[in-house]
């Protein structure tokens, strides 16, 4: 989505102008010291007739995040689906998602044209007016919760499926991503990350 240029745009650095144009809010232009302070996710699964649990640790989540934001992250060219959840708000989850997007913006994997990124605020787009002119390399969706309308959840699902060949990120507010994907989107994640904002802010 192309934004109308304001005085903020003209004061920004060349890279920040790219952030502005693609739709990253100014408060996320600089990296937060807390954007790698993940919270463990307990994943429930069934083996035979037995219900079991697996924990996705902070270390595992941090490892994935660092892969996606490395100097030349080849993963951003793969059809990954990444769910990033935040509780009680999505502020840190959004920061982490935008860090991955910012890495994609700053890279040029293709010699003849810029790496294509796309950000959608699911709360401010009308499905009737939505059309992707071309499939992006990296897609980020945000502004969705477990309490969102069926229409908004279906819109998110449609976009994720339409861009199934892309690296896709969806930021979920108020829920951990695995249960949200199982219960709401009914899609399989490549990896999941989760923030408990209150806990994260007090980590040493």
Residue 23 DSSP symbol: T
Q: Would you say residue 134 lies in a domain?
A: yes
Confidence label for 113 from pLDDT (cuts 50, 70 and 90) = low
Number of domains in the chain: 1
Lowest-confidence range among 29-43, 82-96, 118-132, 155-169?
Answer: 118-132
- 11 falls within a domain: no
Query: What does the alpha-carbon distance between residue 200 and residue 204 come to, in Å, rounded to a whole number?
Result: 9
Inform me whether the pLDDT recorded for 203 exceeds 50: no
Does some domain include residue 22? no
Residue 135 CA to chain centroid, in angstroms?
A: 17
Q: What are phi and psi of 24, to 5 degrees?
A: -85, 120
What is the chain's mean pLDDT, rounded?
Answer: 83
User: Per the domain annotation, does 121 fall within a domain?
Assistant: yes
The answer as to whether 67 is a domain residue is yes
The parent domain of residue 70 ranges over 31-200
Contact 41, 178 (CB under 8 A): yes
Adjacent-strand bridge partners of 46 = 51
Cα 25 to its chain centre, rounded Å, is 14
19 inside domain: no
* CATH number of the domain bearing residue 76: 3.40.50
**Residue 173: which pLDDT band, with cuts at 50, 70 and 90?**
very high
* pLDDT band, residue 10 (cuts 50/70/90): confident
- Indicate if the pLDDT at residue 111 is higher than 80: no
- Cα(42)–Cα(28) distance, integer angstroms: 28
**Dist. CA 130–CA 125, nearest whole Å:** 7
**pLDDT given for residue 201 in this prediction:** 40
User: d(Cα 148, Cα 163) in Å, to the nearest integer?
Assistant: 21
**Does residue 4 lie within any of the structural domains?**
no
The secondary structure element, H or E, covering residue 193 is: strand 191-196
Domain contains 90: yes
More confident residue, 41 or 19: 41
């Amino acid at each position: 989505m192309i934004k109308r240029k304001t005085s903020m745009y003209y004061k920004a650095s060349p890279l920040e102008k790219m952030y502005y144009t693609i739709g990253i809010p100014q408060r996320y232009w600089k990296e937060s010291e807390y954007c790698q302070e993940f919270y463990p996710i307990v994943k429930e699964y069934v083996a035979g007739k037995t219900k079991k649990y697996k924990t996705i640790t902070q270390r595992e989540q941090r490892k994935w995040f660092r892969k996606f934001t490395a100097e030349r992250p080849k993963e951003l060219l793969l059809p990954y689906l990444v769910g990033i959840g935040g509780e009680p708000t999505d502020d840190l989850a959004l920061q982490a998602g935008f860090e991955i997007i910012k890495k994609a913006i700053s890279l040029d994997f293709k010699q003849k044209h810029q790496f294509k990124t796309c950000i959608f605020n699911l709360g401010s787009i009308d499905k009737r007016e939505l059309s992707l002119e071309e499939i992006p390399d990296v897609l980020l969706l945000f502004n969705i919760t477990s309490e969102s309308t069926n229409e908004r959840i279906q819109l998110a699902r449609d976009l994720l499926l339409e861009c199934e060949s892309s690296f896709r990120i969806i930021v979920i507010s108020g829920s951990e991503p695995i249960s949200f994907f199982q219960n709401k989107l009914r899609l399989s994640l490549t990896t999941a990350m989760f923030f408990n904002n209150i806990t994260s802010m007090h980590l040493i």
